[in-house]
Amino acid sequence: MQRLRTPLLILCALLAALALTASLALAAGASHDEGELADGKAHFYSAKIDGTTVKYFLVKTPDGVVRGAFDACDVCYPEKKGYRQDGGVMVCVNCGQKFPLAKVGLVKGGCNPAPLAHTEENGKVVISEDALRQGLVFFK
């Protein structure tokens, strides 16, 4: 019995280390099921990067494109109010300007939602840690 105990403890330790590594890898970036976006509504998320909460949203437009942006813009970000969806547009909660969903992630600067780079892999929308780091300036 004693001979089995040591290898079993080693196996448990290795499995725990693998689970921790997978958890840390996911925490470094973000991944969301693309199916959640099928309703055409903006879905708001956040991620911790270096102790700062970075906020962003994803939306799937009628043309089937997943669009992503930080919940902030170059102009109004100091107010930390972000956006809300009103039908086919995103509205800046601070200044009231409206931006068509079809342009989210494409147009940058001014009060446009700041684009967030992402990829789509195996039914997931994947956002790298580097992409999330680009938004730190808006949320510090």
Indicate whether 76 belongs to any domain: yes
**pLDDT-above-90 percentage for the chain:** 80
Residues 127-137, mean pLDDT to the nearest whole number: 97
3-state secondary structure the chain: CHHHHHHHHHHHHHHHHHHHHHHHHHHHCEEEEHHHHCCCCCEEEEEEECCEEEEEEEEECCCCCEEEEECCCCCCHHHCCCEEEECCEEEECCCCCEEEHHHCCCCCCCCCCCECCCEEECCEEEECHHHHHCCHHHHC
Q: How many independent structural domains does the chain possess?
A: 1
> What's the domain range around 116?
30-139
Indicate whether 15 belongs to any domain: no
Model pTM? 0.80
pLDDT in tens, 36-60: 999 999 999 999 999 999 999 999 9
Q: Give pLDDT, residue 6.
A: 53
Indicate whether 131 belongs to any domain: yes
Indicate whether 111 belongs to any domain: yes
The count of residues in the chain is 140
Indicate whether 68 belongs to any domain: yes
Q: Give pLDDT, residue 55.
A: 98
Indicate whether 103 belongs to any domain: yes
Indicate whether 9 belongs to any domain: no
Residues 96-106, mean pLDDT to the nearest whole number: 97
- CATH code: domain of residue 110: 2.102.10.10
Indicate whether 14 belongs to any domain: no
By mean pLDDT, which of 19-23, 42-46, 131-135 is the weakest? 19-23
Q: 2 pLDDT band (50/70/90 cuts)?
A: low
- What is the rounded end-to-end Cα distance, in angstroms, of the chain? 56
